[in-house]
Amino acid sequence: MRLAIHKSITRIAFLIVLVGAASILTFGQHGYRVTKRVTFPKGRVSTTVSGTIPNKLESHEYIVRVRKGQTIKLRLHATRLSIGFYTMSPSNAMIEEETFLKDYTGTLEESGDYHIFVYSTKGAGKYSLDIQIASDI
């Protein structure tokens, strides 16, 4: 009887450790994302968004709708050097090979929603992102 109880306790302890380890691994791999659609004040072609990245597991996503041929200008101001951004096109292609940008200006090749992701590689920090979209910048 003691042997059966001992085996049961051992199995339960093993399961608890296994579930705990899986939870830690899952938490370590996944953060969360804050997503916002960017709107421009009436008659304006630029706006500034800002936020705080609390840790390296979080990113902020900004969605802007543009037309093919328009120029986008992005400039990031951050309290930490570890905060950067990258941008994805409507067809899910990166518009710049670099994934840790501070500035970007380019003519867009597709119409639709572009996604700008601001993130940190090391810890918390505040930022502001200037976004300008026009036919000619």
pTM: 0.74
Name 128's Cβ contacts closer than 8 Å, sequence gap at least 6.
48, 49, 50, 76, 77, 78
Q: Are residues 65 and 105 in the same domain?
A: yes
Name 133's Cβ contacts closer than 8 Å, sequence gap at least 6.
40, 45, 46, 64, 66, 70, 71, 72, 73
Tokens representing 48 are: 């500034």
| CATH number, domain with residue 56 | 2.60.120.380
Q: Which amino acid is at 129?
A: L
- Tens of pLDDT along the chain (137 residues) come to 555 554 555 455 443 433 343 333 333 334 677 899 999 888 899 999 999 998 877 899 999 999 999 999 999 999 999 999 999 999 999 998 777 899 999 999 999 999 999 999 888 899 999 999 987 65
Q: Are residues 51 and 115 in the same domain?
A: yes
Q: Which helix (H) or strand (E) holds 20?
A: helix 2-29
